[in-house]
Structure 1
Amino acid sequence: MQILKVLSVSLLIGSALLPWNATAIDHLEQVKFNGNNNFAANYTESLLVRSLLQITQGQLQQASQTIDQVIQTAPNFKLAYLVRGDLLMARAQQLQSFGSAPESNPDKVSDFRAEARMRLEHYLAKQAPSSIPEPLWQIDASQQYVIVVDADKSRLYLYRNVNNQPQYVADYYVTVGRNGSEKSSEGDKRTPVGVYYADSQLIKKLPDFYGNAAYPLNYPNEWDRHQGKNGHGIWLHGTPSDTYSRPPRASDGCVVLSNPDLKAIGPIMQKGKTLFIVANNMQWVSPDQAATQKMGLTKAVEDWRKDWESQDTEAYLSHYSNQFFTQSTNLDGWSKEKRRIQAYKMHVEIQLSNVSMFRYPNSQQQMAVVNFDQDYKSDNLDSKMRKRQYWIFENQRWKILYEGAA
């Protein structure tokens, strides 16, 4: 029993002991691999977690059988081999701590321990099925799927757009930057936090290190550049062929999936422009809470549209923050140009469609990204474009911080 205690507790060293029990194992029994579902819950991870939970229940024989299944399913899963080695040593009454085999590298054992803890904590703290990531206020029809990454939990969530509402599909363990999140400069080995888009798969042949595929993110985005953030080459990519997964914090800033998981979501990535939100310590809300949170912004966008359409220039400009910027001007320059154009008081019709709204994660001041198709018609101009705005909540009112083509 003492050996069992050493094994189970050392898996979670540096973290409070988690309250799992037989119910948690029963939950995992419900996770079945469905070959007809490309996005099925990760079968390999489910087996690994089951083996760890069996260890804590004293079921060492069952745990050994389960971990053998893991290795059979993923022969390059190094964490699974470490757990199997510990189980063998436990049965021989030789185990002192997690990864205590004589040839074990202490740094690598620490990485394996962190990965085991992340995977366990996820399964033992499942979000309520009805809750959604807080940034997902409104999805437009052009986005069939949305990806949300909780960086400090090393988790990627995939949602399907059903009638402009997010519907959970699957989630996967990921690796992020070795120095955490909140990327700000070239070489800081951090993963950026914000609202991004993943492009289609890179065509050029990449080294084995990047796995089976790589999808570039559009970091730095408009807000990143305005804050002076720099760097490039932030990708979603896979793992080397001899490695099933990497530690929770091990990349140079990229988001890294196992190759089987990357293959599972590959079909949705091929079109490019896949919405990709990265948050830190992500908050979860009910759909009703999300609807309430976006209500004020929805009204603000519509009021802005009406004031622009009415050609009431001062009312229209009142929707813009003093901090407003575009790629080429600030509020003063924008205001002068709008006053010049609208001095003619021409008849204008403006329609917005395919509107999306996303709460910007981890922003110091409440902020949201709004995308829409804009149909502008006047006496001398008929224009359609996809537009992006950043809105901030200042002085108890939503105002536009940035505006430009999407």
Structure 2
Amino acid sequence: MIKRFIKLVATALLISSSLLPWNATADRSGSPTSNVLPGFSSNQAENLLVQSLLEINEGQLREALSTIDQLLQAVPNFRLAHLVRGDLLMAFAQQSTKFGDYQNAAVSDFQEEAKVRIERHLSAAQDGKIPDVLWRMSPEQRYAIVVDTTKSRLYVYQNRDHSPQHVVDYYITMGKNGSEKFVEGDKRTPLGVYIAGKKLDRKLPDFYGEAAYPLNYPNPLDKQQGKKGHGIWLHGTPKDVYSRPPKASDGCVVVTNPDLKALTPVLQQGTTPVIISNSLQWISPGEAKHRQQALDQAVEQWRHDWETQNTERYLSHYAKDFFSENGNLENWSQNKRRIQATKAKVQISLSNISMFRYPNGPASMVQVSFDQDYKSDAIANRMKKQQYWVWDNQRWKIMYEGPA
């Protein structure tokens, strides 16, 4: 009976040899003590869940039941844990035929949640590597959030000594129909580089959990590509639900309420970049710095050509399909030639530069943001500016420019 149950659970949860190597065992070294309620974290909850599943895989059903009971004492609204516990009890009663004892959409959702949580537990350590989208964080950016939709995971990075350092990562829920949002109501999560605004201060239905932070979807690139929709938030779960299935939102990024509370210091400034990708790769910080060097040079040359009023060289930095709020490259060029015809002396400096590789873009693209100080005899201003640079004919060129 026990061997049959192990096989059924392992098959249903997809933790057979495709996910669990033969030497995968339950790790009790980091398990919380019996007094788990004070300060209990979501990562502790996930560790206990995975521990119970690994114990099932090893045939240690009584240990698995004890682990699940410990988890449910701390997180009584963890539905996946309740399902595992129910099947364990049926196994002891020799009544279980398959995981959940029935197959429907709800059980399939639980299986997917278990699968992505186990995959995270068994994933190889990144050994200091960072997501390939994090090329450069500005000094003002204390944190950056990277979401990998294929792994149902949200990673938090802190800017330490000009280098992104991994702080923590959490399980997430995304859109019912996956990623790459395009139209209103398609129930997909957008892919791109966004900013999480300040917490919404209006009273929200319990459905959105403890709080909600709006993302600036659609961004300029989304609008240029004809993408529609609005109201994409990072938010929590209803009070009676600990976590939702991997694909269950209307397009928002959803985390558990404890995780949302933990993210408050990260999100409270209303300026945290949130990069959402479905093809995340991992590189060393040295490789990230190497990739940004050529773009650093291109940005500096653009600034220099503008400051020296070398109009044609300045305009050569713009791609043929360039766009802005004021039109295309032709409109932009006419305006700049008119302004710079006087050859007025100007001073231009850039600071707080950030560079994030744009995920799933139409070409090799990097979003560059900075503070721009512009001074001339007639005007002096400071503004936050944003550009999209693309790799075009073996050089970096600007595809978009506008206020950040």
TM-score, normalization: structure 1? Answer: 0.94
Aligned partners of 1:170, 1:32: CA distance in 2, in Å? 18
What is the letter of the counterpart of residue 326 of structure 1?
A: S
Aligned partners of 2:172, 2:125: CA distance in 1, in Å? 18
Post-superposition CA distance 1:262-320 (Å, at most 9, x none)? 11112321221211110003111111111122121111101111111111100100000
Whether contact under 8 Å (1:149, 1:277) holds in the other structure is yes
Matched, 1:187 2:188: no
Query: Paired residue for 2:202?
Result: 204
Query: Paired residue for 1:81?
Result: 82
Shift in Å, 1:91: 2.0
Q: 1:32 to 1:319 in 2, by over 3 A?
A: farther
Query: Which of 258, 261, 273 is matched with 1:260 structurally?
Result: 258
Aligned partners of 1:321, 1:335: CA distance in 2, in Å? 11
Shift in Å, 1:335: 0.6
Shift in Å, 1:23: 5.2
Post-superposition CA distance 1:65-92 (Å, at most 9, x none)? 1101111111001100000011112222
Post-superposition CA distance 1:137-189 (Å, at most 9, x none)? 00001111111100121100111111221100000001000100000110000
Query: Paired residue for 2:14?
Result: 12
**What is the SS of the residue equivalent to 1:239?**
coil
Shift in Å, 1:24: 5.2
Q: How many residues align?
A: 400
Q: Between 188-197 and 331-340, report the one with greater CA deviation.
A: 331-340
Query: Paired residue for 1:106?
Result: 104
Let me know the Cα RMSD of the aligned residues: 2.0
Whether contact under 8 Å (1:4, 1:90) holds in the other structure is no
Identity among equivalent positions (%) equals 56
Query: Paired residue for 1:292?
Result: 290
Query: Paired residue for 1:47?
Result: 48
Whether contact under 8 Å (2:13, 2:114) holds in the other structure is yes
Aligned partners of 2:254, 2:292: CA distance in 1, in Å? 31
Q: Between 2-11 and 137-146, report the one with greater CA deviation.
A: 2-11
Query: Paired residue for 2:225?
Result: 227
Shift in Å, 1:32: 5.7
TM-score, normalization: structure 2? Answer: 0.95
Query: Paired residue for 2:317?
Result: 319
Q: 1:24 to 1:317 in 2, by over 3 A?
A: farther
Query: Paired residue for 2:60?
Result: 59
For structure 1, which runs of at least 5 residues remain unmatched after alignment? none
Shift in Å, 1:20: 3.5
What is the letter of the counterpart of residue 153 of structure 1?
A: K
Query: Paired residue for 1:247?
Result: 245
Aligned partners of 1:130, 1:19: CA distance in 2, in Å? 24
What is the letter of the counterpart of residue 399 of structure 1?
A: K
Post-superposition CA distance 1:38-81 (Å, at most 9, x none)? 99661111111111111111111111111011111110011000
Shift in Å, 1:105: 6.2
Query: Paired residue for 2:98?
Result: 97
Query: Paired residue for 1:30?
Result: 30
Aligned partners of 2:40, 2:63: CA distance in 1, in Å? 28
Whether contact under 8 Å (2:40, 2:74) holds in the other structure is no
Q: 1:347 to 1:39 in 2, by over 3 A?
A: farther
Aligned partners of 2:186, 2:29: CA distance in 1, in Å? 41
Query: Paired residue for 1:348?
Result: 346
Q: 1:331 to 1:317 in 2, by over 3 A?
A: same
Aligned partners of 1:391, 1:247: CA distance in 2, in Å? 36
Whether contact under 8 Å (2:25, 2:58) holds in the other structure is no
Whether contact under 8 Å (2:31, 2:48) holds in the other structure is no
Whether contact under 8 Å (1:44, 1:70) holds in the other structure is yes
What is the letter of the counterpart of residue 98 of structure 1?
A: F
Whether contact under 8 Å (1:133, 1:284) holds in the other structure is yes
Q: 1:198 to 1:204 in 2, by over 3 A?
A: same
Aligned partners of 2:39, 2:353: CA distance in 1, in Å? 29
**What is the SS of the residue equivalent to 2:20?**
coil
Aligned partners of 2:383, 2:67: CA distance in 1, in Å? 55
Whether contact under 8 Å (2:80, 2:110) holds in the other structure is yes
